[in-house]
Amino acid sequence: MGARENILARIRKAQGRSGSEPTEAEMAMVREAIARHEVGPQPPFAHAPDRLAQFRKECERLGTTHATLASEGDIPAEVARYLAAGRLAPALAGWSEFAGLDWAGAGIEFRNRPANADDATGLTGSFCAIAETGTVLLLSSPAAPKVTALLPETHVCVVRASRLLDTMEDSFALLRTEVGEPPRAVFFVSGPSRTADIEQTIVIGAHGPYRVHIVIVA
Amino acid sequence: MQIQSMFFKQRATEKLGDALLQGNMKKAKGKFVDGRARAVAEFGVWEELRTHAAMIRDRALANLDAYLVEFERNATRRGAVVHWAESAEDACRIIVDIATRNGVKKVAKSKSMVSEEVNLNERLEEAGIQVVETDLGEYILQLAKEPPSHIVAPAVHKSKEQVAELFVQAHGKPRLTEIPAMTREAREALRDHFLTADMGISGSNFVIAETGTTLTVTNEGNADMVTTLPRIHCVITGIEKVIGTFEDFASLIRLLPRSAIGQTITNYLTLTTGLKMPGDADGPEQMHIVLVDAGRTKLVGSDLQEMLRCIRCGACMNHCPVYQNVGGHAYGWVYPGPMGSILTPVYVGLENAGDLPNAATFCGECAVACPVKIPLPDLMRKLREQQFDRKLRPWAERMAIAGWSFMATRPALYALFAKVGARVGSWLGGREGLIHSLPGIDGWTKGRDMPAPQGRTFRELYKQKSREHG
């Protein structure tokens, strides 16, 4: 017998069942429990009356900056303002969904490709955002390279206000209805990367971005 | 990792005398304990969530075989290769095989306690493969050639001065004094490794049966590099980590970072399912998942099964007065503190780790802090009973326990013995009321005096007070 059979047989024996493979009835029971997608207790603040205020509050706790815009057309000007305020270079690698905006008009060089280690700023969209924890959710796809959110020192992330949800469970429900099966990477980002591995002192900017700026578009 | 748990007493004594370590441990303690307390206080439904989380873990463990088979089916459907390893050696052999078959020269690793358990780095290096730890704490320890001393904060025992010295030797740059500058230097040193590694190895905090998903929970973002950039991604994890759904994950992740360090969420959570899809700019071309037993099936169905609920948050050690004083290395294996005092004896043999279930004051703080309600002191007590039954403790200790048990089950005899003992103790204590040495158990009085009994027993006083108050 192979390792798989030995391990499964040991588990079954210890739990008073014979053989080295679960029965169809056992598998059906497990699948039924899974299919219920039971949601556990959630903290009261996860269902705040003002969802946007809760999202902003959590962003600030994480060190994420944010801005709210009236329309998508305002994104280049806001990004230009943000980069200039932080004395950051006016260039970025961005997801192709933003390639059609007027970047030249805002004085920004837009590189329509996945970010590499030399790009100082990456611009991404998001699948949705979560108010409970100030989190954005990115789903990997050919049009949504994960590296753009990871390699540059600054990550600018666009969130549509209509896609702001209360909880992670809500984002999973949306994922099931809109996408179906999860893609390769379901990537939750909550603020700039950090570490506390030296003397438990929090330092912003470990391996990922030093700065995360969220642009909320109404 | 080489087992040193049989030397617990000796190592604990050394650690207590290590002034530098004592200073480093004191700095860490408050941050962990206070941080968790704040996060729990503001949560609102903490106890309800703990109960639910224990249920999530128990539900999967009760049908562990079916959950694993369901996970395997879905992971395979998405293009991952699932491997089963009965022992530490098997796990290493499988991963070294994958690496050599694919011509891997360099591995970038994110933190994995299971990989520490099975000595994976050593085995890979023996096969001529370069291994780079990328979690900052693990990187520091790789430079220091030391094992981790905490499961969440592996380098908690090191001061920044000690880290600065290691960086001077490794990076050949001027000595740094500030932690942010040290972190940047490590970031720059490691960045190139992420980009040039042929294989990434990560652990998986849980694996999700419904979708065949593995996942990483980090603040640094290193696990995301490791699982995204190299052409091969290999996951090593324990068979007990399986849960049902994404919703189960959502509940557990509300508990994990809060219990570990008082954070509401870690900066990065990545649920990884299958391979790079057609047209994707990033992601690996091969994914291997190694499910490791290495002792876990010994816990299944046993009276210690609750230990398999563990989500590796470290709260039990952060709250343990013994851990706070001796640090993780004294425990002599991968898992320190209360959770290690149960896992180590089971995984490496009770005969090799006899002192660990006894390295407890039974204050119960670990059970209170545990996010999945593992009754840690009860499980340690069960291991002590096994030690007694298997005659693994010294003869004198066993006789003393047997004697005490004989007396304790005979109330009249116990009362008489206590009465005499209290009076003799009071006399021995003299005017100061302190006993300086106890014949036969002089270790106890080596660094402290024992307060002497006052002359009368609790039951005598209780009787008297009851009479006085009618």
Q: Domains along chain B? A: 1-42+314-392 (no CATH), 67-297 (3.40.50.10420), 396-468 (no CATH)
User: Which residues of A are less than 8 Å from B293 in CB distance?
Assistant: 3, 7, 10
Residue type, B330: A
Q: Which residues pair with B216 in a beta bridge?
A: B270
Do A26 and A64 lie in one domain? The reply is no
Do A87 and A27 lie in one domain? The reply is no
Residue B26 — pLDDT band, cuts 50, 70, 90? confident
| Radius of gyration for the alpha carbons in chain B, expressed in angstroms and rounded | 25
- Quick check: is A181 in a domain? yes
Say if residue A90's pLDDT is above 80: yes
| Percent of chain B predicted with pLDDT > 70 | 100
Angle at B131 between CA B126 and CA B133, to 5 degrees: 140
- Quick check: is A114 in a domain? yes
pLDDT tens digit sequence for B424-464: 989 988 888 898 888 777 777 877 888 998 888 998 999 99
Residue A1 — pLDDT band, cuts 50, 70, 90? low
User: Which residues of A are less than 8 Å from B84 in CB distance?
Assistant: 2-4, 7
Any idea what the CATH number is for the domain that residue A131 is in? 3.40.50.10420
Do A66 and A160 lie in one domain? The reply is yes
- The dihedral of CA A168, A173, A179, A183: what is its sign? positive
Q: Which of A84-98, B7-21, B42-56, B71-85 is predicted least confidently?
A: B7-21
Query: DSSP 3-state assignment of A124?
Result: strand
- How far is A54 from chain B, CA to nearest CA, in Å? 14
Do A85 and A13 lie in one domain? The reply is no
pLDDT tens digit sequence for B1-11: 778 999 999 99
Of A14, A27, A38, the CB nearest to B301: A14
Of B43, B65, B191, the CB nearest to A11: B65
Residue B389 — pLDDT band, cuts 50, 70, 90? very high
Residue B288 — pLDDT band, cuts 50, 70, 90? very high
Residue range B312-327: mean pLDDT, rounded: 96
Contact B183 A145 (CB under 8 A): no
DSSP B98-161: HHHHTT--EEEE---HHHHHTTHHHHHHHTT-EEEE-SHHHHHHHHHT---SSSSSTTTT--HH
Q: Taking all residues of chain B, what is their mean pLDDT, rounded to a whole number?
A: 94
- Quick check: is A41 in a domain? no
Do A54 and A26 lie in one domain? The reply is no
Contact B134 A207 (CB under 8 A): yes
Do A15 and A97 lie in one domain? The reply is no
Residue range B19-34: mean pLDDT, rounded: 87
- Quick check: is A42 in a domain? no
Written as six digits, the tokens of B416 are: 């008489």
- How far is A130 from chain B, CA to nearest CA, in Å? 12
Interface test with B, best of A199, A212, A214 (most B CBs within 10 A): A199
Of A43, A184, A198, the CB nearest to B44: A43
Of B187, B228, B245, the CB nearest to A146: B228
- Quick check: is A40 in a domain? no
- How far is B328 from chain A, CA to nearest CA, in Å? 15
Interface check for B155 against chain A (CB to CB < 8 A): the answer is yes
pLDDT tens digit sequence for A31-54: 999 999 999 999 999 999 999 999
Residue B46 — pLDDT band, cuts 50, 70, 90? very high
Q: Tell me how far apart the alpha carbons of residues B261 and A196 are, in angstroms, rounded to a whole number.
A: 10
B75's CB contacts (< 8 A; 6+ apart) are B82, B207, B212, B213, B214, B273, B274, B289
- How far is B345 from chain A, CA to nearest CA, in Å? 19
Q: Tell me how far apart the alpha carbons of residues B262 and B41 are, in angstroms, rounded to a whole number.
A: 10
Pairing of strands B286-292, B81-85: parallel
Do A163 and A125 lie in one domain? The reply is yes
- Domain of residue A24 covers 3-35
Do A103 and A201 lie in one domain? The reply is yes
Residue range B131-142: mean pLDDT, rounded: 96
Do A72 and A11 lie in one domain? The reply is no
Contact A40 B267 (CB under 8 A): no
Is residue A30 within 8 A of residue B209, CB to CB? The reply is yes
Is residue B147 within 8 A of residue B334, CB to CB? The reply is yes
Residue range A128-147: mean pLDDT, rounded: 97
Written as six digits, the tokens of B270 are: 């990545």
Residue A127 — pLDDT band, cuts 50, 70, 90? very high
Residue range A86-111: mean pLDDT, rounded: 98
pLDDT of residue B69: 98
pLDDT tens digit sequence for B348-373: 999 999 999 999 999 999 999 999 99
Of B43, B67, B159, the CB nearest to A199: B159
- Quick check: is A43 in a domain? no
- Looking at the 3D structure of chain A, how many domains does it have? 2
Interface test with B, best of A26, A38, A139, A197 (most B CBs within 10 A): A197
Do A58 and A134 lie in one domain? The reply is yes
Residue B281 — pLDDT band, cuts 50, 70, 90? confident
Do A198 and A138 lie in one domain? The reply is yes
Do A27 and A60 lie in one domain? The reply is no
pLDDT of residue B154: 93
- This prediction has a pTM of 0.94
Interface check for B71 against chain A (CB to CB < 8 A): the answer is no
